[in-house]
Amino acid sequence: MRIIRDLAELIAARREFWASGQTLALVPTMGALHRGHMALVEAAKSHCDAVAVSIFVNPTQFGVNEDLDAYPRPEAQDIAKLESAGVDLLWIPDVPTMYADGFATTVSVSGISDGLCGAARPGHFDGVATVVAKLFNQVRPDAAFFGEKDYQQLAVIRQMARDLDFTHDIIGVPTVRDDDGLALSSRNAYLSAEQRSAAVALPRAMRAAVDAILGGDDVDGALAAAKQAILAAGFHHIDYLELCDAKNLTVLHALTAPARLLAAARLGSTRLIDNLAVVR
Ligand code: AMP
């Protein structure tokens, strides 16, 4: 695996993939890699001849009081995992490489970025869209892979790719979960043992709500019951729990279109997100 930290070297390496006729996949990450990230790598390997992974903890997608400094950065372990998964290229830029002095451009995807996590984390999706656009231009992949775990992020990136004529494939990969159903996340490392046991209430309550809605129950009633169960388990705040149109993420109060149930809730200082398909 080639580990590249310099942009000129990355661009030269990219030319070599073109010259060899190999297709190249990109898997953007913030590191602290777990089985969810590795599922993206596996999907990328099955779609393209070669796989590039990026690790960049992007400061512009963190709010002022968020966990940028505390975010885990186990670089040596991440490198070992990617090596053994057969990744071809690892792109690890530093902050000045991505945001040189005088950096002045923001990619902002209106509409789809506004609600849900966008409302709870102002500016977050501008940071995501900007850094992903930069990664797309730097790596020029034939396909890019993102987890459905971050469902709104995937929708924002699909919209950005359409609007800005990034013509490569954007491929969503289903959420990888622990045995008890909790979605894997780098932020699960923040949870104490007690909080980790409580955390499973989030996917359980969401699953019960999906089953109730699919069974014909009133949507708002099913969501109220789920919120009660999540708070009773020890979460102290629910940023949102909403049934949304699966494509444009507008909020639904009845199952009138293929839908997604999306949630963000706080357990201690840890913010967990999850989403489930709601399709008859
Ligand atoms: P992150 O490192 O958290 O920015 O995530 C990098 C990529 O991995 C994003 O596309 C995420 O959606 C994806 N991802 C994170 N957790 C999971 C998971 N449990 N299952 C599938 N994909 C995931």
What mean pLDDT, rounded, does the chain reach? Answer: 97
How is residue 24 written in tokens? Answer: 């190249």
Distance (angstroms) between ligand 1 centre and the Cα of 34 equals: 9
Q: Work out whether strand 259-267 and strand 169-173 pair parallel, antiparallel, or are unpaired.
A: unpaired
When pLDDT is averaged across residues 134-162 and rounded to a whole number, the result is 98
> Quick one: what percent of the chain has pLDDT higher than 90?
99
262 vs 254: CA distance, rounded Å: 15
DSSP 188-256: GGG--HHHHHHHTHHHHHHHHHHHHHHTT--HHHHHHHHHHHHHHTT--EEEEEEEEETTT--B-SS--
Percentage of the chain surpassing pLDDT 70?
100
Could you tell which of 26, 29, 37, 71 is best to mutate to test the pocket of ligand 1, judged by most ligand atoms within 8 Å of the CB? Answer: 37
The residue whose CB lies within 8 Å of the most ligand 1 atoms, and thus the one to mutate among 61, 71, 150, 151, is 150
Tokens coding 227: 């919120």
| Residue 14: band (very low, low, confident or very high) from pLDDT cuts 50, 70, 90 | very high
Q: Which residues form the catalytic set?
A: 37
| Residues with C-beta less than 6 Å from any ligand 1 atom | 29-30, 36-37, 39-40, 146-147, 149-150, 173, 175-176, 183-186
User: pLDDT digit string (tens) for 31-72?
Assistant: 999 999 999 999 999 999 999 999 999 999 999 999 999 999
Inter-axis angle of helices 124-139 and 151-163, nearest 10: 60
State the Cα–Cα distance between residues 44 and 54, nearest whole angstrom. Answer: 13
pLDDT band at 280 (very low <50, low <70, confident <90, very high): confident
How far apart are alpha carbons 278 and 245 in whole angstroms?
9
Which of 27, 33, 38, 40 should be mutated for ligand 1, with most atoms under 8 A from CB? Answer: 40
For ligand 1, atom 22, which residue shows the shortest CA distance?
147
Tell me the mean pLDDT in the region 71-91. Answer: 98
Question: Whole-angstrom Cα distance, residue 5 to residue 14?
Answer: 13
pLDDT of the residue at 8: 98
Report pLDDT for 24: 98
What is the structure's pLDDT at 233? 98
Q: 228-240, pLDDT tens digit by residue?
A: 999 999 999 999 9
102 CA to centre of ligand 1 in angstroms = 30
185: amino acid identity, one letter: S
> What's the pLDDT at 206?
98
Per-residue pLDDT of 165-186, as tens digits, reads: 999 999 999 999 999 999 999 9
- Residues 9-22 have a mean pLDDT of 97
Tokens of 214: 């699919």
Ligand 1: atom nearest CA of 185 is 16
